[in-house]
Structure 1
């Protein structure tokens, strides 16, 4: 506490005068305490203070107090003292200007200033300096000082530091004989000067010892302006447009990527690169750019740039031009419409329009087209185009593709010949063909088919196809249509009749419809499934005898079964068929009486024989009761029929149907071809068996449909005698 008098009147707290130096000119005793009278440098009494609160100094400089840090001598004309009592000046700061020193203590002088004791890195004392005479810093590199210009690396053996912790991030060896740009300097307390340097591309490198470089004067480091008259396209998205050659960023190249500018001048920079001065189409200066970041064009179209795409022209008013000003038409839109072309290159013109350079499949150049007027695709098929209609295939064995680039996969028209599909879009392929995208009647996509391989219709039934045939009506409840699908009547009155087909339609629903006539009278459209061809048909049925090589007088059933089974491709041994024939007593409907003679009563029933036949032919069916029309349908569609009729040994008046025959063919004029196992060989003549001309027709013979019907359907008693099996 500083007192105003010796009576204890407070004048000032001690904190306000802490570490200040005063001159004591008298001391006083009071109550056992010694008080000093304190005077400032002007001999003005400041007050009284307990001597115990004061350190006595040897002179006007006061006592030494702890102080640390660094002093950067950045101010010229400052005094350096050798003695703080006499204020002896031993040098000026000019002699050591910009150097950095250690602060190793402070003195609070009587004159009110703080003086610091300064040492260099070798512990050599510089002297005392007032704190106002230098810049105090907290780190050993000292204060930042201005530095500009360029320095050439002349020594390979110096590190480049990221900070003054001396963490090296590079070496001058990498930059030997190259130039740095200086942007500041530090006079370190260790005596070295460090430059803060950038490379000539504007990247800060770090701090380098000035001993590693040689300062040079370069009048025009950016180079001198040279005239340039080119259209250039920016093609490097890593580049930068600069406002100046201090590398002030004006714009990133990503903002102007693929744009074309006018280069009016260029500079060969000290860094070894050439920079172009760019202007846009409106005359605005856009900045400097590294020449390596552009591609020069030969005209105002800018640079040719690669492209690999396709486009399909869909409008007749989109032209391809011979220039980039759309003054001269190379190929008119009328000549391009519905054509797919290859885009082999592109130009981003100075005027702001992007142009595609297009070629046809023969490699002929067609011109430049405004990219905004077309859509592109990576597929040579071109663009999907709307198309609604129906296509009937007219060539067999052609491919329906699932991929129009590789032309791989898909199916052929072999199984889809003369079939109608829904068209739901098309592609005008680069190869010149048009491919329809086809769907079946259930909405399942089938693939792509060349339009030239079919005929198109607007209607779901497809196109009329030439087809002439006679057909037998085999369904009594099928619809007859006067149009698709306007039903006029059913086929109940036509069932079993033979009519003429003159043309057909393969409907998208999967059904083929015949245009049906009765002579010259058109009846309507009828589904083909309700008919069979009424035409000559021979089945490959071998002849088998029930007498040779195995004598089985009552074995007509297994012999006939052998013929039918062989006709469908299976051939169990005849002996097995005979020896294992189901017999009455063990199997319901089995044959009563041995096939080898003795005790014969009746032949095996169709139901039992069908079950037996299914051991080899799962498709064997008991069709007993079938009409003659249905039997014709079986035969002309490739199915031999075993039926029960008269034996060549039949006696007059005996109408019991106990003999099996096989129908092996059909002729519209002659009826059925019959094979009868009741002969020794297939070459026996008629009348060589029982001798009754009504029944002994020979091993292979033709029977009219009326005679067949009379035999097959003849009734006696209450027994149903229409008995037959289809294979």
Structure 2
């Protein structure tokens, strides 16, 4: 046998050994991508090399990666003996079989179909045919090739017909210029990387025969260690994965993986809100650094989670941000809990509380419109069971009634915590008369009886405080002088109504002393504004210099407030209120009843009312803009004495004084024009 033939046999034997070796080491649980060409495993190469007709050159069968390598059949004893005898005889005679045989015509070897993969081990010549004669091109060292046919040339040189990854037949390359590979996946490149599987469409393969170990989507966003990479003939790079316990997971397309922060894995974008509910977890600024805080310091705070890291050790790290958009920390997601969007997660918070503030919404759920407000439930006591510390910093409480029926989610700022079911202490100046002889007087709200009302029936007592109990009853804290009598249900009393008295300390400006003979409306408005701490820098003349002018008092001021004239000079309620809005909360309430005006005063809001000079009878006259009183005047209503049935006014002509409610009402009701400053 010639040297070239020996080299080829050694090349083919190497293929068999590589295939057998690869077949015995392929991980049982590893996942394997398929080739665009025939997808032959390592074992398939061994099978092809040991086929009956040609032990190295026949197409390879598909053998599972974990099956044993097929055995090579040994020659029989008789056949071996005959061969040995012939060899010995030849050596003794010094002849060869060729010398002894008659000359015959030698037929050219026929091409053999193969299915092998190899790399060029140097700059390899490419021949047009298998006789190694005409060089057509060269292939760079390291280029991966698919071998599809073996040809022995006339000079016994063995060549392989080769195909590139694009499927193009390039020609023939000498076997000596090629290094056999275990399969289309090529040789592994050892690495040590940490990557996160980010594609939900990429399965994990058990081997390179297309066997799926883990279907696509089942391990998405999990981080693995990559211990080797395979540069497949089809152009795909496959990562060999192991988990944090060192178990072989399989093979996956590297394009489905993403590198990140070491063992923490890649940061995955998210958009959720979570509340810190567990203690004992550290807060970090960066991976690998010391903790700067802990979850206890941030307990019950809701943050925005922008990124998640599913780390190699199976811990999920959350990257959290505050409501200003500032990064707060990296924290184990186990310390957090998601909840109702930006409201965060609810946590147990059992207490009793009474509503104090108005205009806070009642919500049946987060994200819906309120169905009621605390304005209709002031001083109502509820049991609070759960709290949400929302992302915007607001605390929301879930309120329940005495029967544990859910009522609403309410801003906790509307409440004041109570000591028990009785609610908070509400101070009062009530005077009551006891109307029952048998009602219980209680020592406390555990219902220890102090006495009955028998001795107090029909008498008047002071209720210095009261409690709106969660059971729906109001309990009065009753005193006789300085002696405390106990708690009594208000249902067994009647109120002794006190007379209303109020006088607002509104400044008084004399319009004549300030050079404003026609400026009563503007002077009265300035008095009311200053009581509300508005327009404080203005003098009466300076303020009136800004008044809007018009040809009709229904649209603006007619004439000049600084001089008297024969024309009608005035500004009526609508344009007065519009001008006043430049300086404060001024509202036109024309048409309101006298009682409505007094209610505004009781709330601390002075009212500019249109009356007559000295409250004299109205002197009606016709003008181009309508019939109006020639003795028109404006004053500021700023007090009320119910007992005396009087009102208090600040008059720009006559100063401050009390006058009868009836006289005031008669003049005001003639036109019902008024402007309130709130």
Q: Please indicate the TM-score interval, normalised by the length of the shorter structure.
A: 0.3 to 0.5
Normalising by structure 1, we get a TM-score of: 0.43
Give the number of the structure whose residues are more often helix, by fraction. Answer: 2
Give the number of the structure whose residues are more often strand, by fraction. Answer: 1
